[in-house]
Amino acid sequence: MESIYWVLAWACHRKCRHCYEDRFRPYVRGALEAVVAEAERNAPKVIANLPPEMTYLDLNDPRPDGTLPRKTGRIILSGGECLMDPVRERVTYPVIEELAAKYRDRGGVKIIVQTTGDLLTPAMIDDLLRRGVWMISVASIDDYHVGLEGEAKQQAFIASLSALFEAAGLRRSGVATTHRNWLDEPGPLYSFFGASPDAWIGKIWPRGRGWQNGLSTATLADNFCARWSGAMNFLNHGYSGSEVSIEPDGSVYPCCLKTKLPIGNLTEEGLIEILDSLAGDPVYEALNAGQPQRMGLSYGWSVETFLEKSRTTDPKGRPYANLCIGCDRFHEEVLKPRIEAAAAVRRRERRVAVA
């Protein structure tokens, strides 16, 4: 695959008002131990069920003779904040080591650690590089992160971290992380992004605290499904454009925004097995095409019906319409039995294979 986005644990030292997931927040004492233990318990099972290779054929970079180059894909490790104590030592570092070992003789993997950046120290950077991390990506350059409001604070933060990175031998990525060619750069690298107005997430997904706080400005014209981190191409494993998102319990989704229900769980079954079981299904092929408005056609939901279901009122009492809302309602009203049936078929097939 080209990309996997893995939320290692729910723990975070911040509670940003724009966050797409309310479970990303500070935990203390027993609650913190519970979320760390969940991640610690499930991570080895998830790794065992990841694809046997993290390589892909790049449709966007054909050779003169029309053949496709095989390139090394990436796994993005995120949170929450995956570098906070005790997540860093008990979960993040072991996961990096296990991923590096799994793919070392299978074409490799580009491991990216995504962080808010404010916890980084020279020792942590050295720890990450020693374990083979290809990129450290700082994802907090916006006005929503307390202490980073305004251009002046953000530029000072970037300069301070850049100095740490450069001293450790990292090089700043020369390609914006929303442009696909950044994967071709030799590491180790560092990068910066955030939910700024010009970013692909700048309109704020209708999810989590961002939704609860009425921050999403997306309309029906903003098709998150057809953008990077959306569901488009998620089924096309083996080729460029395929990405899925994983939660700490192993649940897997076709997009980072996360559909209302997961498509499977990686503590129980292989990722490729899950994806192949959905190939050809009209619902998931519509998502794979980046056209969620067509996902209900085989269930009697016309495009017009889907668009009507995409309209709602946000928590601030304002009219709101986005395709993600229609997708949520289709999952709630129609799709749950289909997902359960597909999982049951895969379970039967596994039992037959074992027998």
Q: What is the pLDDT of residues 22-77, one digit of tens each?
A: 999 999 999 999 999 999 999 999 999 999 999 999 999 999 999 999 999 999 99
- Residue 3: per-residue pLDDT: 97
Question: pLDDT band at residue 342, thresholds of 50, 70 and 90?
Answer: confident
Rounded CA separation 113/128 (Å): 8
Question: Would you say the C-alpha torsion 105, 110, 114, 118 has a positive or negative sign?
Answer: positive
Contacts of the segment 193-202: beta carbons below 8 A, 24+ positions apart: 193/137, 193/138, 193/139, 193/141, 194/139, 194/140, 194/141, 194/142, 194/144, 194/145, 194/154, 195/18, 195/142, 195/144, 196/141, 196/142, 196/143, 199/142, 200/227, 200/228, 200/229, 201/229
Q: What is the mean pLDDT of residues 272-290?
A: 96
Q: What is the pLDDT of residue 182?
A: 60
Task: Using pLDDT thresholds of 50, 70 and 90, give the confidence band for residue 348.
Answer: confident
Residue 61 has a pLDDT of 94
**Model confidence pLDDT, tens digit, residues 98-141:** 999 999 999 999 999 999 999 999 999 999 999 999 999 999 99
The predicted pLDDT at position 177 comes to 47
Instruction: Supply the pLDDT for residue 294.
Output: 98
Is residue 82's pLDDT more than 60?
A: yes
Report the Cα 284 to chain-centroid distance in Å.
18
User: What local confidence, expressed as pLDDT, does residue 314 receive?
Assistant: 97
User: Residues 86-92: what's their mean pLDDT?
Assistant: 98
CA distance 186 to 305: 47
> For residue 187, what are the contacts with CB-CB under 8 A and spacing of at least 6?
110, 134, 135, 170, 171
Alpha helices (H) in the chain, listed in sequence order:
29-48, 87, 93-103, 122-130, 151-167, 208-212, 271-278, 282-288, 303-309, 323-330, 336-354
pLDDT the model gives residue 343: 80
Confidence of residue 210 (pLDDT cuts 50, 70, 90): very high
Q: What is the mean pLDDT of the chain?
A: 95
Distances (CA, A) of 320 to 21, 130, 326: 19, 47, 11
Q: What average pLDDT does the segment 203-227 reach?
A: 96
Point out the least confidently predicted range of 192-201, 270-279, 294-303: 192-201
**For residue 345, pLDDT beyond 90:** no
